[in-house]
Amino acid sequence: MIDIHCHILPGIDDGAQTLEDSIKMAKEAEKEGIQTIIATPHLNNHYDNRKPFILQKVEELNRALVEARVNINILPGQEPRVYGEIIEDYEIGEIQTLNDSQYLFIEFPSNHVPRYAEKLLYDLQVKGLIPIIVHPERNSELIERPELLYRLVEKGALTQVTASSLCGYFGKKIKNFSMEIIEANLTHFIASDAHNIKNRSFKMMEAFDFIDEIYGTDYVYLFKENAELIFAGENVIKEIPTQIKKKKKFIFF
């Protein structure tokens, strides 16, 4: 199994703080059946993790895991918070795609979707990149306006739902929206977004067991296969997206 979203690189964002933390996370990932992790440190106002630095840290962690005899392979990635100059920064070699593929994570603020986001996602695609919106189920504007998520996916963006969201660790509202996103074919990947082994762990096995129970083996295969296709830099499997119907609110007198 491949986990395409994980904050396992030590001491560079709000994920693993020490090399020991990273090794503990890798051992936990092994227990979950994960063999490969794409390390995706934040790039935002708080954390300035650029491509050359990420490549260095990935190499260092892979060496440490070999020494610790942990059979996990770390690949380079990045989680940039959406900003207007991202294409320019990509062109000068500061933006790290997922395993040097055409796939690029894009994170929105938790409470809204910037007005320029739709145009930026289009411009990224013109450049030959495929944007993946991370954890849309935790964005409050998308929860209230799911038609916006539909529009972005319908125009070529992909999305990734977090395993812990689907398992209810972020609350019932986010779990329900995660399920609606899956049912409307508005997501293409399940990943851990793991930060540690205490309160933000992998939960990948739990999530896929839940998907298998509710939606069947075909969905499990689709999400796992898509992670493999990112690893290979190939086109992912996409079903035709549909609108999420907003539930009517009833007022009782």
Strand 103-106 to 79-80 pairing: unpaired
In a domain, 249, yes or no: no
Are the beta carbons of 71 and 77 closer than 8 angstroms?
no
From the list 175, 173, 178, 157, the residue with the least C-alpha distance to 244 is: 178
The one-letter code for the residue type at 183 is: E
Share of the chain above pLDDT 70, in %: 97
In a domain, 147, yes or no: yes
In a domain, 53, yes or no: yes
Share of the chain above pLDDT 90, in %: 96
Copy the structure tokens of residue 206.
């739990």
**Number of folded domains in the chain?**
1
Owning domain of residue 199: 2-232
What are the tens digits of pLDDT across the range 48-93?
A: 999 999 999 999 999 999 999 999 999 999 999 999 999 999 999 9
pTM greater than 0.85 (yes/no): yes
In a domain, 104, yes or no: yes
What are the tens digits of pLDDT across the range 139-171?
A: 999 999 999 999 999 999 999 999 999 999 999
In a domain, 186, yes or no: yes
In a domain, 250, yes or no: no
CATH classification of the domain holding 119: 3.20.20.140
28 backbone dihedrals φ, ψ, rounded to 5°:
-65, -40
In a domain, 248, yes or no: no
Copy the structure tokens of residue 170.
């972020």
What is each CA distance from 125 to 132, 149, 157, in whole angstroms?
11, 17, 8
In a domain, 240, yes or no: no
